A and B are shown apart, each in its own frame.
Chain A
Amino acid sequence: MSAHAAPMRAKFWSPGVLVLAILMAAGAAAVLARFIGGIGYVSNLSTARPWGIWIGVDVASGVALAAGGFTTAFLAHILGRHYYEPVARPALLTAMLGYTFVVLGLIVDIGRSWAIWKPMVYWNFHSVLFEVAMCVMFYLNVLYIEFIPIVVERFKGRVNLPGLLSALNGVAETLLSLADTLLSKLMWLFIIAGVVLSCMHQSSLGSLMLIAPTKVHPLWYTPILPLLFLTSAVAVGYPMVVFETTLATTSLKLDPEMQVLSPLTRITIFLLGSYLALKIGDMVIRGTYVYLLDGTAQTNSFLVEMIFGVIVPWVLLLSPAVRRSRRWLFTACTLIVGGVLLNRVNVFVVGYRPPVSENYYFPSITEILITVGFIAGLMFLYRFLVTYLPVLNRPGQEVSA
């Protein structure tokens, strides 16, 4: 457990948080409209285009960008590189919130939101989506469990519920110490389970589209799609940590943690390089480079994804000067994060071309509002939790549990 993590004492309602709150309110209104008028009322989804940005961004990208959680957990807890613990906690928080919002996004996207529990009863082992759903469900619980020590650390011995609830102070206190004792013994199980579950569903998320060979553009449709999804998720894990840590430390005026982030991205050179090699190798073997210059939206999107999302940041990261510079490191990592996000959007939305209808799809305003609202909600909660729980490192203040 890091001795440095502490609640932020910063004022919560900053202008940025206000903007987030406004975006959340707009998103909430759109969600309300979806539950009054139906999915068709707020979205441009159709028979030909059953999945839009809610799946492409909220779910697929949400899962991919939450990969920081399991990659840092692997590094800090399984390999015992405790040096990286300062970023493990925020990464865990991001993953927890990311998956929470994946589930919230699904609740909006699936037609019968109230039936979301049914996969637990009706099992279809042939369904890739079933496996993804089970993994996401278990992993979300694992993440919550992994997060408990942070809550324990903050409240153990300090439970002070207001008003009538104060009667429960004793009970809560007992629960917290029980969790503390149990989890300190069992945490290794959950940490490993988290990595296993992540590997399973990060790859399976790619297998999802294998069933639609006629619909997904050949630039993305490949039998190794699951492998590409796994490697890209692993590759984006640390850049995502850099991205969010830099944002958080800048916004809260904290120590930029460069001494942790710089070495992290050295690993990324290898991980992203492997992903790039797989991508290019796959393209060469399947001969899909013939599409590269045909000028369609798909091709252009692929080029942007590969050049600005993978190649440029990879080349940037090769330079030690870039890795040492806070600004440049953030730029490179943002590019990687954007590249993986674009990859997921490409696979699920841009590259999805129904051959019969050739239906054109662009998300409606309300569809975008819901997605933006969720992202704002995630950032809002992140801000809220780091304000009141010991997640981020606070310089010059030793608040140990």
Chain B
Amino acid sequence: MQLSRRGFFKVAGAAGAGVAASTRPAEAWQSRAPADPQGCLVDLTRCIGCRKCEQGCQTVNRLPAPEQPFDDLTVLDKKRRPDERTYTVINRYYPGRRDERDQLVPTFVKVQCMHCQDPACASACIVGALTKKENGAVHYDVTKCIGCRYCMVACPFEIPAYEYRDPITPRVMKCTFCYERVEKEGKRPGCAEICPVEAITFGRRSTLLKIARNRIKSNPASYVDRVYGEHEAGGTSWLYLSGVPFDRVGFIDVPHRPLTQLAESIQSSLFSYMWSPIVLFGMLSGVMWAFRNKGDRDTREKGGQP
């Protein structure tokens, strides 16, 4: 028994060591982010909360009409999240700043898919229905989707919504970055195009970062010195500038390394070329061979502790 138990531990130990070894940050991990994607820079100091971007989005993406019309600004009284009928929403915050008439100054925040550079959803997707396109869009292909909703678990910004009420063909619903419109028709995203004040600037991500830095530099009193999305989750295609600290207007802290890194490193160090399963298979075969004649059929007669 001693022998067999030791053999067992050996194998268990080896399997454990394999997993443990993989927890080292693997240098092998490579970002698959596109080199120069397009993106949008949302300047919260410019946004006036008119909800035109919501309207533009709904029209361009042929989404269902909203319960309350877009010019009804009372919907801003409540905080909303994008859902299966809406790709983007505007929320109003009162971060505490007052104007000269002692009125609280609102800050409006547009919420939509951030189109991460290394999207967790795309890494998670079991069938690769979500992919990061060269132009920056995180694109959803409904024909592949099985509806496991792992993308929703993975997304740090809690963006993908689900058509829970559809029993047979529900879809994951999230901002498309107007992929077809931008890529095939050469137009701008619906929200950026309709925005009356250019609170949303559309362009190359590298350019947008320069613009953002410039705006902060040329008007340091109006901005906090941070571009949200520059590093968050390894960088996102959508970037934000704000006049008030981001945590006061509903932005969450997200790790700066891509969320995909840890799981992908572990997976690839364990399963590249299927080495660990093959090794384990070989070891177990060896053990089985070694123990083929050392069975303990007779221990039953001894009865009791083996």
Contacts and interface: CB of A to CB of B under 8 A. Distances in A.
Report A-B touching, CB under 8 Å. yes
Interface string B2-37: 001101110110011001101100000000000000
Contact of A231 (B16, B83, B84, B294): B16
Given A124-B126, A192-B285, A230 B15 contact: yes
Contact of A193 (B271, B281, B304): B281
A356 B158 contact: yes
Contacts of A207: 263, 266-267
A112 B169 contact: yes
B23 A224 contact: yes
Interface stretch (A35-43, A245-253, A382-390): A35-43
A165 interface: no
A131 B266 CA distance: 12
Interface in A214-271: 214-215, 223-224, 226-227, 230-231, 234, 259, 262-263, 266-267, 270-271
B262 interface: yes
Interface string A45-68: 111101100000000000000000
Interface residues of B, number: 84
Contact of A226 (B149, B266, B297): B266
Interface in A49-93: 50-51, 74-75, 77-83
A128 B305 contact: no
B163 interface: yes
B170 A211 contact: no
Interface string B257-284: 0011011101100010000110011001
Contact of A263 (B250, B291, B294, B306): B306
A25 interface: no
B49 to A, nearest CB: 20
B260 A126 contact: yes
A210 B123 CA distance: 12
Contacts of A209: 153
B128 A127 contact: yes
B154 A211 contact: yes
Contacts of B120: 211-212
B282 to A, nearest CB: 9
A109 B5 CA distance: 40
A397 interface: no
Nearest to B291: A80
Interface in B119-167: 120, 122-129, 144-150, 152-154, 156-158, 160-167
Contact of B167 (A36, A128, A197, A357): A36
A114 B263 CA distance: 28
A297 interface: no
A227 B16 contact: yes
Contacts of A74: 8, 11, 284
A254 to B, nearest CB: 17
Size band of the A side of the interface? 35 or more
Of B20, B156, B252, the most chain A CB neighbours within 10 A belong to B156
B145 A226 contact: no
Of B82, B127, B168, B277, the most chain A CB neighbours within 10 A belong to B127
Contacts of B82: 47
Contact of B165 (A41, A82, A133): A41
Contact of B262 (A43, A210, A352): A210
Nearest to B306: A263
A111 B167 CA distance: 7
A116 B146 contact: yes
Of B84, B147, B252, B254, the most chain A CB neighbours within 10 A belong to B147
B16 A79 contact: no
Contacts of B146: 110-112, 115-116, 118-119
A79 B4 contact: yes
B19 to A, nearest CB: 4
Interface in B280-306: 280-281, 284-285, 287-288, 291-297, 299-300, 303-306
Of A77, A79, A122, A126, the most chain B CB neighbours within 10 A belong to A79
Given A112-B170, A115-B145, A224-B23, A259 B303 contact: yes
A111 B170 contact: yes
A337 to B, nearest CB: 20
A122 B259 CA distance: 23
A356 to B, nearest CB: 5
A112 B145 contact: yes
Given A127-B128, A208-B150, A80 B252 contact: no
B220 interface: no
Contacts of A111: 145-149, 162-164, 166, 170
A293 B277 CA distance: 41
A272 interface: no
Interface string A17-36: 00000000000000000111
A354 interface: yes
Given A51-B153, A111-B162, A128-B267, A118 B127 contact: yes
A62 to B, nearest CB: 16
Of B149, B152, B153, B250, the most chain A CB neighbours within 10 A belong to B153
A130 interface: yes
A206 B7 CA distance: 26
A371 B252 CA distance: 34
A226 B262 CA distance: 12
Nearest to B128: A124
Interface of B: 4-5, 7-9, 11-12, 15-16, 19-20, 22-23, 81-84, 120, 122-129, 144-150, 152-154, 156-158, 160-170, 250, 252-255, 259-260, 262-264, 266-267, 271, 276-277, 280-281, 284-285, 287-288, 291-297, 299-300, 303-306
Q: A-B pairs with the 9 shortest C-beta distances? A: A111-B147, A40-B164, A50-B152, A124-B128, A50-B149, A122-B127, A111-B170, A80-B295, A80-B291
16 contacts: A35-B167, A45-B162, A47-B158, A74-B284, A78-B288, A80-B288, A80-B296, A110-B146, A116-B146, A118-B144, A131-B267, A133-B126, A203-B19, A266-B305, A270-B9, A355-B156
Given A111-B164, A131-B271, A213-B259, 17 more contacts: A34-B167, A79-B288, A111-B145, A112-B170, A114-B168, A115-B147, A124-B128, A126-B123, A197-B277, A200-B276, A210-B266, A213-B156, A227-B19, A259-B303, A355-B252, A356-B158, A356-B250
